[in-house]
Amino acid sequence: MEAAIRPDVVIIGSGVGGGTVARQLAETGARILILERGSFLPNEPENADAEAVFTQARYRTREEYQDEAGRRYRPGQYYYVGGHTKFYGTAMFRFRDTDFRETEHEDGTSPSWPFSYDDLEPFYDEAERLFGVRGQAGQDPTEGARSHPYSHAAIPHEPVIADMAERLLTQGLRPFFMPSAVDFGPGGSCRRCGTCDAFVCRYGAKGDGEMRLIRPVLKHPNVTLWTGAQATRLLPASDGRIAAVEVRRGGEIMRIEAPLFVLSAGAINSALLLLRSTDAAHPNGLANSSGVVGRYLMNHHLSGLMGLMPFRVNDTKFPKTLSVNDFYHGVPGDGAARGNIQMLGNIQGPMIRSAYSWMPRPLANLLGRHSVDWLCMSEDLPRAESRVRLLPGDRVEVAYHPGGRSAHDRFVEHARARLRQIFPVVLRHSFGIEAPSHQCGTVRMGVDPTQSALDSVCRTHDHPNLYVVDASFFPSSAALNPALTVCAQALRVGNHLRASWRNDNLAA
């Protein structure tokens, strides 16, 4: 069915990538249609209920993926207005200068990006302001040059975390205030409710894609959001341009034509949409003449460390104020064992039991109350065999082969040894691809069209009016949280689109 709507731009997905591009284009007056498969997340008590969020997986997709052995599982994918940031932990890091350059690792090469940190810096600056990031410049030993300090002061540590910072200082480390997008401070809406990372904020205090991007952009009369609208295929024209998108909404299948398409469905779903969009001229899907679409899936090596305090309750409400980058380029004597250390959000009993169901509830609750929880993050090297692909019957297979695992393990053991100087017991938990929280890389950028799907402004090499702007564009994953980099590059792409499309294609 032909839809009775003629947008100038169709944006598929309302996460950080899609929301930021919408924000950049809104003031051009172009008629923008945002297609979002999910709904607005309801504000309800379950938002902050660990049993509902973790044990019952209330907000997770009901889709199933499978691994290479055919084992099926319900992935940690969330489809709502604002995308994954509705659940994110608000850590808003810039990647390091070196992350944009080719770097040799023990287990392979981290490729260069088609632009440098300096090229992205003004957009990082804007992205931080857009998301209201709080931080303190000049403390993190690995941070790149900044054109401006943070516009909001860092969120202060609560007593237990301040104590951790002191103890790390005495070990000769340089802990710093973690940059975080929470509306905290005088007049702010954060109530330090105790649930943030992996939960939904009921007070609108989390700087997420809905609050910071979509709600403001909907004030423009030329911007329309369709919820419950799942893009199922992109339809190419014979000249190589994209003619239309096929959308399933309310039981109907519609076809929407537009001069410009921005695909921002998240790294796994953007790749799947391109792979699904086959025709005689594109048997391997769209934007895929290089064959890279769906490949080079990365998610970070993520390990949690739980430091137990048998005689002290950790009453911290918002622990994510502290981070350590002293080992970003290697631990002493082992340059390959590298990564970032940051606080995890509050870990509660039901969260522990969702991974260790055999554990008695009282023990899980006790561990939750008496622990200080850390996250060790290392770069996950891109590998062609690490991929998402479609199997017959539209089944989704995720074959995950992250590069750099043993170096990560050594880094974690070093971090653990450091924490053993503070805690009598330090437990470890590794996160897998079942929770693809930092998914990226599946529609990679690059200068060589035979090795990449996108150019440096996220335009597909194959289709001049199709851009892919979400974490799928990452050529490498760095060892830091991805959302600020998605936003900064989306701002950069938005600028490019304003300059190059306005006269030709967008409404005046």
Ligand X SMILES: Cc1cc2nc3c(=O)[nH]c(=O)nc-3n(C[C@H](O)[C@H](O)[C@H](O)COP(=O)(O)OP(=O)(O)OC[C@H]3O[C@@H](n4cnc5c(N)ncnc54)[C@H](O)[C@@H]3O)c2cc1C
Give the binding site for ligand X (CB under 6 A). Answer: 12-17, 35-38, 79, 83-85, 87-92, 198, 230-231, 264-266, 269, 273, 437-438, 470-471, 481-484, 486
Shortest distance, CB of residue 36 to ligand X, whole angstroms?
A: 5
> Which residue has its beta carbon closest to ligand X?
15
At its nearest, how many Å lie between ligand X and the CB of residue 266? 3
- Closer of 275 and 306 to ligand X (Cβ): 275
Q: How far is the CB of 362 from ligand X (least distance, A)?
A: 26
CB of 190 to ligand X, least distance (A): 15
Question: Which has the closest alpha carbon to 462: 297, 261, 265?
Answer: 261
Query: To 5 degrees, how large is the angle CA 332–CA 335–CA 340?
Result: 85
Whether 308 contacts 370, CB under 8 Å: yes
Least CB distance to ligand X at residue 273 (A)? 5
Q: Residue 321: name the closest of 97, 156, 458 by CA.
A: 156
Of the two residues 56 and 366, which places its CB atom closer to ligand X in the complex?
56
Dihedral sign of CA atoms 257, 263, 269, 275 in order: positive
Strand partners, 223: 32
For ligand X, the closer of residues 85 and 476 by Cβ is 85
> Which residue in this structure is represented by tokens 């390091």?
96
Smallest gap from Cβ 84 to ligand X, in A, equals 3
- Please say whether the beta carbons of 136 and 163 come within 8 A: no
Of the pair 54, 501, the CB lying nearest ligand X is at 54
Closer to ligand X by CB, 331 or 433: give it.
Answer: 433
- Cα–Cα distances (Å) from 104 to 119, 132, 336, 361, in that order, read 22, 35, 9, 45
Residue placing its CB nearer to ligand X in the complex, 231 or 331: 231
Q: Which CB, 268 or 367, lies closer to ligand X?
A: 268
For the CB of residue 490, give the shortest distance to ligand X in the complex, in Å. Answer: 8
Q: Can you read off the two tokens belonging to residue 228? A: 């419950």
Question: Toward ligand X, which CB reaches closer, 376 or 484?
Answer: 484
Letter for the amino acid at 154? A
Residue 18, CA distances (Å) to 22, 86, 216 in order: 6, 14, 14
Distances (CA, A) of 167 to 161, 163, 221, 410, 422: 10, 6, 53, 22, 7
Taking each helix axis from N to C end, the angle separating 483-501 and 16-26, rounded to the nearest 10 degrees, works out to: 30
Helix, coil or strand: residue 244 = strand
Least separation in angstroms between residue 326's CB and ligand X is 20
Write phi, then psi, for 215 (nearest 5 degrees). -60, -45
